[in-house]
Amino acid sequence: MQIGRMQRLNRAAGAKTAAPPAVPLLRTPLQRPAQQQHSSSQACRAVHMDFNTKVWEKELVKFASSEEYIVRGGRDKFAKLKDAFAGFKQIGVIGWGSQGPAQAQNMRESLAEAGSDIKVTIGLRPDSPSWKDAEAVGFTPSNGTLGEVFDVVSSSDMVVLLISDAAQAKLYPRLLAALKPGATLGLSHGFLLGVMKSDGVDFRKDINVVLMAPKGMGPSVRRLYEQGKSVNGAGINASFAIHQDYTGNAADIAIGWSIAVGSPFAFPTTLESEYRSDIYGERAILLGAVHGMVEALFRRYTRQGMSSEDAYKNSVECITGPVSRVISTKGMLAVYEQLDDKGKKIFDQVGHKVRAERVESEIPLNPFTAGVYVATMMATVEVLREKGHPYSEICNESIIEAVDSLNPYMHARGVSFMVDNCSYTARLGSRKWAPRFDYILDQQAFTAVDNNVPIQEDVVNKFKSDPVHAALAKCSEMRPPVDVSVGGEGSNEGIGAGGARIEYRSTAAKA
């Protein structure tokens, strides 16, 4: 029953936001068929969202042709956390999956640095295999920071719900009932709203309902927070939403939450906009598309006579190395401009060998690989823009999350390491859509190139002048000067309890 409901909601999300674009219809890298083209001067239809905050300073920023409000983060803002969370004695973090360890540890340390006595407490099932992991990083029953889920929910002033989407769909009636009147329910994914709409119910009216969604997997949220301690903060940007403001200060709470977990800047959205763009992105450029893409490219290059090692370098390493690095700091257009005029088992085994012998400066910027990747990213951008998402959400959800959070983990230990450190929903989406991208790239895009279908120069020119480049440049201006650092095989950097996982498990939620 739960699976059926989740499938219906996924289909609904796809119908409204559109399924991942038929990227492999690209005739060559950086090219789409005429019927799929859209004016690069088309401005995002979304109007910036305003919000009321008494604690934080909002800033009006121009992203390409639109203006949007944001709030900048940084460790120098921690002193205001006590004002944002005024009256709070306990923040309960429910779940220990991808986001739970990162957000709980970051908030605990930020609040301590702010001189706050607010307690961050983890809520888990007593038989949860994650119980020992939480204890390993200092959350224990003896100090009152680790307890049973519903005990933590009922005693917390703010409940950060970070269990899987499927578990939320199953448990939300009990969870909502357990909240204290006037408490704040915090979500990092808006999918619960879709579930409740499908069930014909609404949130209790005597609570706040807010969202704070980091644009990156949990381990990167934690790792960049740790690295940012010496540079006034480095982390993952986040969106936030005020769905229900019962106490009148829900915006202060949501923004404070984003600053406490280390977001360099946060931008407003809605629960619905967030979950639609997030699920779409996970199926497309963030996980599903790049997973299928590297498999298709690897296979293509070996067919053309490359050794397995060289094929891996020219597919996976090219994307996670020079392509991601250039997009992160200079934008997609810079990848294009750097090209010259000419421009599962065996896969993983080869990757291990290549990563072990890697010399970063020798990773090639393969023009074909770069073209396929950037074209897929641009197709993702175009669909989100057509559906009215603001540039702050487009850039963070489909570009920055890919190159600053996800791809570095694939660079460190391969595709599976990246995918398996994401949420359960993201993992499912990736593995469902990767074969589809793989197949269509191989059967349509690559064959079009091999058949010498002419390049449409107007499409390339539209790519060069697309407004998203200006929006991404603005995001880059606000980017902290720190790249996420995670250890490869043989290194424990960013790995282990409270960090990235190398062993995986999943247990069903119990109603």
45 or 448, which is more confident: 448
Q: Are residues 319 and 248 in the same domain?
A: no
Question: What CATH number is associated with residue 81?
Answer: 3.40.50.720
Evaluate if residue 32 carries a pLDDT over 80: no
* Ordered alpha helix ranges (H), 313-366: 318, 324-330, 332-338, 345-356
- Cβ partners under 8 Å of residue 304, min gap 6: none
Q: Are residues 296 and 236 in the same domain?
A: no
Arithmetic mean of pLDDT over the chain: 83
| Mean pLDDT value of segment 71-89 | 96
DSSP 479: -
Is 189 annotated in the active site? yes
Q: Are residues 294 and 235 in the same domain?
A: no
Q: Are residues 250 and 372 in the same domain?
A: no
Report the pLDDT value the prediction gives residue 319, as an integer from 0 to 100: 93
**Residue 401 marked ligand-binding:** no
Q: Are residues 408 and 451 in the same domain?
A: yes
pLDDT single digits (tens) 417-444 = 777 777 777 788 888 888 998 998 899 8
Confidence grade of residue 200 (pLDDT, cut at 50, 70, 90)? very high
**Residue 453 falls within a domain, yes or no?**
yes
Among 189, 243, 389, 411, the active-site one is 189
Evaluate if residue 163 carries a pLDDT over 90: yes
Which residue in this structure is represented by tokens 């009321």? 52
| Mean pLDDT value of segment 447-455 | 86
SS3 46: coil
Q: Are residues 300 and 416 in the same domain?
A: yes
Confidence grade of residue 83 (pLDDT, cut at 50, 70, 90)? very high
**Residue 490 falls within a domain, yes or no?**
no
Confidence grade of residue 36 (pLDDT, cut at 50, 70, 90)? very low
Confidence grade of residue 506 (pLDDT, cut at 50, 70, 90)? low
pLDDT single digits (tens) 89-132 = 999 999 999 899 999 999 999 999 999 999 999 999 999 999 99
User: Over pLDDT 90: what percentage of the chain?
Assistant: 48
1 or 453, which is more confident: 453
Report the pLDDT value the prediction gives residue 21, as an integer from 0 to 100: 37
401 or 32, which is more confident: 401
Q: Are residues 362 and 439 in the same domain?
A: yes
Evaluate if residue 412 carries a pLDDT over 90: no
Phi-psi label, residue 44: left if phi above 0, alpha if psi -120 to 50, beta otherwise: beta
Q: Are residues 287 and 411 in the same domain?
A: yes
Evaluate if residue 348 carries a pLDDT over 50: no
CA distances from 257 to 93, 151, 235, 253 (A): 12, 22, 13, 6
- List b or e across 182-194, with b for residues whose CB sees 16 or more CB atoms inside 10 angstroms: ebbbbbbbbbbbb
Confidence grade of residue 15 (pLDDT, cut at 50, 70, 90)? very low
Confidence grade of residue 505 (pLDDT, cut at 50, 70, 90)? low
Q: Are residues 253 and 331 in the same domain?
A: no
Handedness of CA 173, 174, 175, 177 (dihedral sign): positive
Cα(380)–Cα(162) distance, rounded to whole angstroms? 26
CA dihedral 30, 31, 37, 40 (to 10 degrees): 30
| Domain assignment of residue 77, given as a range | 58-264
349 or 267, which is more confident: 267
Ranges of beta strands (E only) in 261-354 are 265-268
226 or 361, which is more confident: 226
341 or 233, which is more confident: 341
Lowest-pLDDT choice from 16-30, 83-97, 105-119, 174-188? 16-30
Evaluate if residue 286 carries a pLDDT over 70: yes
**In contact, 233 and 264? CB cutoff 8 Å:** yes
**Residue 380 falls within a domain, yes or no?**
yes
**In contact, 83 and 57? CB cutoff 8 Å:** no
Q: Which long-range contacts (CB under 8 A, 24 or more apart) does 487-493 make?
A: 487/412, 488/355, 488/356, 488/412, 488/413, 489/352, 489/355, 489/356, 489/413, 490/356
**In contact, 377 and 463? CB cutoff 8 Å:** no
38 or 192, which is more confident: 192
Question: What CATH number is associated with residue 460?
Answer: 1.10.1040.10
Report the pLDDT value the prediction gives residue 43, as an integer from 0 to 100: 39
Report the pLDDT value the prediction gives residue 122, as an integer from 0 to 100: 98
Q: Are residues 312 and 364 in the same domain?
A: yes
Lowest-pLDDT choice from 44-58, 71-85, 321-335, 388-402? 44-58
Q: Which amino acid is at 470?
A: A
**In contact, 264 and 234? CB cutoff 8 Å:** yes
**Residue 32 falls within a domain, yes or no?**
no
**In contact, 429 and 416? CB cutoff 8 Å:** no
**Domain end: 197, 231, 264, which one?**
264
Evaluate if residue 174 carries a pLDDT over 90: yes
Q: What is the 3-state secondary structure (H, E, C) of 452-472?
A: CCCCCHHHHHHHHCCCHHHHH
The packing angle between helices 271-283 and 191-199, to 10°, is 110
Confidence grade of residue 3 (pLDDT, cut at 50, 70, 90)? very low
CA distances from 194 to 168, 187, 203, 233, 241 (A): 11, 13, 12, 34, 15
**Domain end: 264, 290, 315, which one?**
264
Confidence grade of residue 47 (pLDDT, cut at 50, 70, 90)? very low
pLDDT single digits (tens) 248-277 = 999 999 999 999 999 999 999 999 999 888
- Cβ partners under 8 Å of residue 383, min gap 6: 17, 18, 20, 21, 280
**Residue 13 falls within a domain, yes or no?**
no
Q: Are residues 201 and 296 in the same domain?
A: no
**Residue 425 falls within a domain, yes or no?**
yes
**Domain end: 230, 264, 298, which one?**
264
Q: DSSP string covering 367-419, please? A: HHHHHHHHHHHHHHHHHHHHTT--HHHHHIIIIIIIIIIIHHHHHHH-HHHHH
Handedness of CA 287, 290, 296, 301 (dihedral sign): negative
Q: Are residues 204 and 117 in the same domain?
A: yes
Report the pLDDT value the prediction gives residue 491, as an integer from 0 to 100: 72
Cα(249)–Cα(349) distance, rounded to whole angstroms? 53
Confidence grade of residue 39 (pLDDT, cut at 50, 70, 90)? very low
Evaluate if residue 31 carries a pLDDT over 50: no
pTM recorded for the entire structure: 0.83
Domain count of the fold of the chain: 2
Closest by Cα among 75, 81, 78 to 232 = 75
Report the pLDDT value the prediction gives residue 358, as an integer from 0 to 100: 63
Count other Cβ atoms within 10 Å, centred on residue 304.
Answer: 9
**Residue 282 marked ligand-binding:** yes
**Residue 238 falls within a domain, yes or no?**
yes
**Residue 65 falls within a domain, yes or no?**
yes
Report the pLDDT value the prediction gives residue 361, as an integer from 0 to 100: 75
